[in-house]
């Protein structure tokens, strides 16, 4: 029995990926080996600038030898796909191309990125914002196709699913899809989880799982806020959707609580 979970390992640990910053992986290698966590490896811009490629190759080889499935999360601070500033778009594109360089070595299932859209700043230029963003995403989607990796756009500040819906309708590709962050939806969206699922379930490739009370992005353990996770999984099952699931704990205790509570609501037949 693994030391990390004590006497009983939650069943859901086999059904989810655990988000972990790349710089923290060496510290937790023993735990990862012991529990065989599937991982979402998160990279910042600074991580990409100072990346030790030999260390990356060696660590990834170890993880895969232990049976760990891998996904990637790209940098997001200050990046904006549809920025009106060409230099910000240039930096954003550079960072995401760097993630595809990492993906060429890691061979992950998929890469998650944020759009950078913030309605507080971009609402009045939404059409132009989307047009600029599409020009940036198109070469990345083409690269995803060449590398046989999926690219997922996550919701953050978006108040409703219409922005993602328009992007996916205008740049249609089987490797380009949606990552639903239910914590962000609950804290920042003005529309219901039901509407997000109705509009975007056909594009859904991944779900990020954490909880809050609807007032801020608290990243609480699943079951410790007010998100209706039972409804989430019931709806996905009814629609025949089995997106990859990723938990985003900020502490060891939050990870344990999340997995224990997921055991109560995640269907035992859930297979990605």
Q: From CA 74, how far away is CA 111, in angstroms rounded?
A: 7
Residue 272: band (very low, low, confident or very high) from pLDDT cuts 50, 70, 90: low
| Residue 7 pLDDT greater than 80, yes or no | no
End-to-end Cα, the chain, rounded Å: 25
pLDDT at position 135, please?
Answer: 98
pLDDT in tens, 15-50: 999 999 999 999 999 999 999 999 999 999 999 999
Helix axes 126-147, 86-106, angle to 10 degrees: 20
Residue 160 class from Cβ within 10 Å (0-12 exposed, 13-18 middle, 19+ buried)? middle
Per-residue DSSP letter, 221: P
Widest CA span in the chain:
56
pLDDT at position 1, please?
Answer: 41
The candidate with the shortest Cα–Cα distance to 186, out of 227, 218, 220, is: 227
pLDDT in tens, 67-100: 999 999 999 999 999 999 999 999 999 999 999 9
Is the dihedral angle over the CA atoms 246, 251, 253, 254 positive or is it negative? negative
pLDDT at position 2, please?
Answer: 54
| Residue 183 pLDDT greater than 70, yes or no | yes
pLDDT at position 270, please?
Answer: 80
Domain 11-264 is classified in which CATH homologous superfamily?
Divalent-metal-dependent TIM barrel enzymes (3.20.20.150)
Query: What average pLDDT score do residues 139-160 get?
Result: 98
Query: What average pLDDT score do residues 253-272 get?
Result: 89
Length of the chain equals 272
% of the chain residues with pLDDT over 90: 92
CB neighbour list of residue 193: distance below 8 Å, 6 or more residues apart: 182, 185, 186, 227, 228, 231, 232
Phi, psi of 260 (to 5 degrees): -60, -45
Query: What average pLDDT score do residues 141-151 get?
Result: 99
Residue 269: band (very low, low, confident or very high) from pLDDT cuts 50, 70, 90: confident
pLDDT at position 128, please?
Answer: 97
pTM score, whole prediction: 0.96
pLDDT at position 11, please?
Answer: 87
**Cβ contact 163:117 at 8 Å:** yes
Q: From CA 163, how far away is CA 92, in angstroms rounded?
A: 18
Domains of the chain by residue range: 11-264
pLDDT in tens, 124-133: 999 999 999 9
Per-residue DSSP letter, 67: T
% of the chain residues with pLDDT over 70: 99
Query: What average pLDDT score do residues 106-134 get?
Result: 96
Helix (H) or strand (E) holding 163: helix 162-170
pLDDT at position 140, please?
Answer: 99
| Residue 192 pLDDT greater than 90, yes or no | yes
pLDDT at position 5, please?
Answer: 81
Q: From CA 248, how far away is CA 258, in angstroms rounded?
A: 9
pLDDT at position 201, please?
Answer: 97
């Amino acid at each position: 029995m693994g030391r990390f979970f004590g006497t009983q390992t939650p069943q859901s640990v086999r059904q989810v990926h655990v988000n972990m910053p790349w710089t923290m992986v060496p510290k937790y290698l023993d735990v990862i080996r012991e529990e065989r966590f599937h991982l979402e490896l998160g990279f910042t811009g600074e991580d990409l600038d100072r990346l030790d490629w030999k260390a990356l190759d060696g660590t990834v080889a170890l993880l895969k030898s232990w049976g760990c499935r891998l996904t990637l999360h790209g940098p997001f601070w200050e990046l904006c796909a549809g920025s009106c500033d060409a230099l910000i778009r240039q930096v954003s594109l550079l960072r995401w191309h760097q993630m595809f360089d990492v993906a060429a070595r890691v061979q992950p299932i998929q890469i998650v990125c944020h759009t950078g859209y913030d309605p507080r700043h971009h609402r009045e230029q939404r059409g132009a914002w989307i047009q600029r963003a599409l020009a940036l995403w198109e070469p990345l989607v083409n690269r995803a196709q060449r590398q046989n990796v999926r690219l997922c756009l996550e919701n953050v500040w978006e108040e409703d699913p219409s922005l993602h819906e328009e992007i996916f309708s205008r740049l249609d590709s089987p490797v380009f899809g949606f990552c639903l962050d239910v914590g962000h939806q609950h804290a920042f969206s003005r529309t219901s989880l039901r509407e997000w699922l109705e509009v975007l379930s056909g594009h859904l490739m991944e779900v990020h799982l954490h909880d809050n009370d609807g007032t801020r992005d608290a990243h609480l353990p699943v079951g410790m806020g007010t998100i209706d996770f039972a409804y989430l999984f019931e709806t996905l099952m009814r629609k025949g959707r089995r997106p990859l699931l990723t938990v985003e704990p900020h502490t060891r205790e939050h990870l344990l609580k999340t997995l224990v509570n997921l055991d109560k609501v995640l269907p035992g037949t859930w297979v990605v």
